[in-house]
Amino acid sequence: MSKTTEVEIAVIGAGPGGYAAAFRAADLGKKVVLIDRDPTLGGVCLNRGCIPSKALLHIAKVMDETNNLSKMGVSYNKPDIDLEKIRLHKNKIVSQLNQGIDKMAKARGVETIQGLASFKNNNELGVKTKSSNITIKYEKCIIATGSTSGMIPGISINHDSILTSRTALELVDIPNKLLVIGGGAIGLELGQVYASLGSKVTIVEFMPTIIPGADEDIVKPLYRKLTKQFESILLSSKVTNLEVQKNNSINVSIENGKGVTNDNYDKVLVAIGRKPNTELLNLNNTDIKLNSEGYIDVDVYQRTSVKNIFAIGDIVGNPMLAHKATHEGKVAAEVCSGHPAAMDYKAIPSVVYTDPEVAWAGLNEVEAKLNKVNYTKGEFPWAASGRAISMGANQGKTKILFDPENKRVLGVGIVGPGAGDMISEAMLSIEMGADAEDISLTIHPHPTVGETFAMAAEVFLGTITDLYAPKK
């Protein structure tokens, strides 16, 4: 069975960017259809990424905190881990949020279609569902199809013992030995989850540091902790071969400056990045242009090379973050609806939800030195924070980079519990053009780790009283 329908705006992909775009356009009075391959809305982030991983990370964090309470005089027996209950807990959270998005779509009158969408031309989509083929004629289209896990170049193995972030979150079992390929956010977060649940975890990272691109001093406290939680962290190393054994274990060859080593692992998690979902869209039927990396080129209005087709989220390139996609979705929806809007930002925050959390926004020292940007900085060590010490978080740090001429905030890096929440104040400071005095004169509650943001500014200004800072 086939049919044809006409809409003002068609949105392909119901992740954070896609449903934000659809809902915003509907709020602006547009007739909208939202198409996704999944039976539930929310995309990878909600169903197989951000949300389920954070549910598991919370469990891991509580387990670690409980274990560390022994140092404070409170001891518990070894935890009894019920994987089935953990899975049910995770799935319940996802389901609850799925239902919430579905209700919001219905309340706004957004039509949702489960099916595979692809372009027929610059003005039409073909959508293949379980029961029919639908042709959708649109005035405007917003592409929000996201990304999928990348695999190791030259190595293609389809086996249950080779995990992606998606299959790792299914938590089928807890392998005794787990190799995680990739020392970025996804690899470290899932590595910490599995380590807390009993796996002996090894990380292999191609770059000479974990979380490449972040400042080394901000990453260092996390690295110290992971060296205790993980069996080993192999930096400046690469996997050259994977071979499935008769017992379904994986023999892995790892090459670094010391040569090549071979070892067996029960499972291997590949977390080396993601690639844009463009291959099923039939973009060749349109005039949409891709860049050299395979992402869709867009302008500040999220418009592609085709004036009535827009693209948002992972499919337009890094950083691949849900909050970036959401903002892009709203911009695209407003432009599609005839309202003035553009993607105009000074910074996008990044958070690694490990324990401790690592967060940064704006300029970091790596970028500053690379691009020869002048800066000065104020740092406050959490070893001088009463609140941090009471939490056992004295390895944390808050760092602010300032413009040496006007003293405005250029960038912020934070490591410690709650860093992901604290970075919001940093973002506001950057976007509002706040300077060191603005921050230092803002009264923060005491005792909190949040006040270390103001104290870092005071260190820069030379007005700090919670540290002794010799006059320059």
Residue 1: the pLDDT is: 66
Question: Please, are residues 12 and 142 in contact by the beta-carbon 8 Å criterion?
Answer: yes
Q: Which of 237, 106, 111 shows the shortest CA–CA distance to 181? A: 237
- Asked whether the CA dihedral 284, 288, 290, 294 is positive or negative, the reply is negative
Residue 459 has pLDDT above 70, yes or no: yes
472 occurs within a structural domain: no
CATH number of residue 366's parent domain: 3.30.390.30
Residues 139 and 28 in one domain: yes
Instruction: Give the mean pLDDT of 290-296.
Output: 91
Residues 6 and 114 in one domain: yes
Percent of the chain with pLDDT over 90: 82
Residue 99 has pLDDT above 90, yes or no: yes
Residues 325 and 222 in one domain: no
Give Cβ neighbours of residue 73 (< 8 Å, ≥ 6 apart): none
Percent of the chain with pLDDT over 70: 99
Residue 340: the pLDDT is: 95
Residue 293: the pLDDT is: 87
Q: What residue type is 157 in one-letter code?
A: I
315 occurs within a structural domain: yes
**Band of residue 193 on the pLDDT scale cut at 50, 70, 90:** very high
Residue 75: the pLDDT is: 87
Range name among 43-57, 306-320, 392-406 with the lowest pLDDT average? 43-57
Instruction: Give the mean pLDDT of 88-115.
Output: 94
Residue 49 is given by DSSP the state S
β-sheet bridge partners, residue 381: 397
Residues 295 and 230 in one domain: no
Q: Which two tokens stand for residue 262?
A: 């071979």
Task: Decide which of 229, 255, 272 is a domain's last residue.
Answer: 272
Residues 126 and 21 in one domain: yes
Range name among 68-72, 344-348, 405-409 with the lowest pLDDT average? 68-72
Residue 308 has pLDDT above 80, yes or no: yes
Residue 77 is given by DSSP the state P
Range name among 81-85, 202-206, 252-256 with the lowest pLDDT average? 81-85
326 occurs within a structural domain: yes
Q: What is the CA radius of gyration of the chain?
A: 24
Residue 436 has pLDDT above 80, yes or no: yes
Residues 84 and 115 in one domain: yes
Tokens 């003293």 found at: 407
**Orientation angle between helical segments 50-68 and 185-196, nearest 10 degrees:** 50
Residue 472: the pLDDT is: 60
Q: Which of 127, 112, 114, 111 shows the shortest CA–CA distance to 282? A: 127
Q: To 10 degrees, the CA torsion angle through 192, 194, 198, 203?
A: -70
Residue 154 has pLDDT above 80, yes or no: no
Residue 23: the pLDDT is: 97
Residues 111 and 11 in one domain: yes
pTM above 0.95, yes or no: no
Residues 260 and 230 in one domain: yes
**Band of residue 471 on the pLDDT scale cut at 50, 70, 90:** low
Q: How open is the CA angle 12-18-23, to the nearest 5 degrees?
A: 115
Domain count for the chain: 3
3-state SS class at 365: helix
**Band of residue 155 on the pLDDT scale cut at 50, 70, 90:** confident
Residue 176: the pLDDT is: 97
Domain hosting 415: range is: 350-461
33 occurs within a structural domain: yes
As a whole number of angstroms, the distance between CA 333 and CA 30 comes to: 9
Instruction: Give the mean pLDDT of 396-425.
Output: 97
Q: Which two tokens stand for residue 261?
A: 């080593």
**Cβ neighbour number for residue 4 with a 10 Å cutoff:** 10
Residue 374 has pLDDT above 70, yes or no: yes
Question: Please, are residues 340 and 210 in contact by the beta-carbon 8 Å criterion?
Answer: no
344 occurs within a structural domain: no
CATH number of residue 14's parent domain: 3.50.50.60
Give Cβ neighbours of residue 132 (< 8 Å, ≥ 6 apart): 1, 2, 3
Residue 72 has pLDDT above 90, yes or no: no
Q: Which of 121, 101, 80, 109 shows the shortest CA–CA distance to 14? A: 101
Residues 209 and 88 in one domain: no
470 occurs within a structural domain: no
Residues 309 and 456 in one domain: no
Active site residue 159: no
Q: Which two tokens stand for residue 79?
A: 């935890």
Give Cβ neighbours of residue 337 (< 8 Å, ≥ 6 apart): 9, 25, 28, 29, 30
307-333 burial, b for 16+ CB within 10 Å, e for fewer? eebbbbbbbbbeebbbbbbbbbbbbbb
**Band of residue 307 on the pLDDT scale cut at 50, 70, 90:** very high
Residue 30: the pLDDT is: 96
Residues 372 and 331 in one domain: no
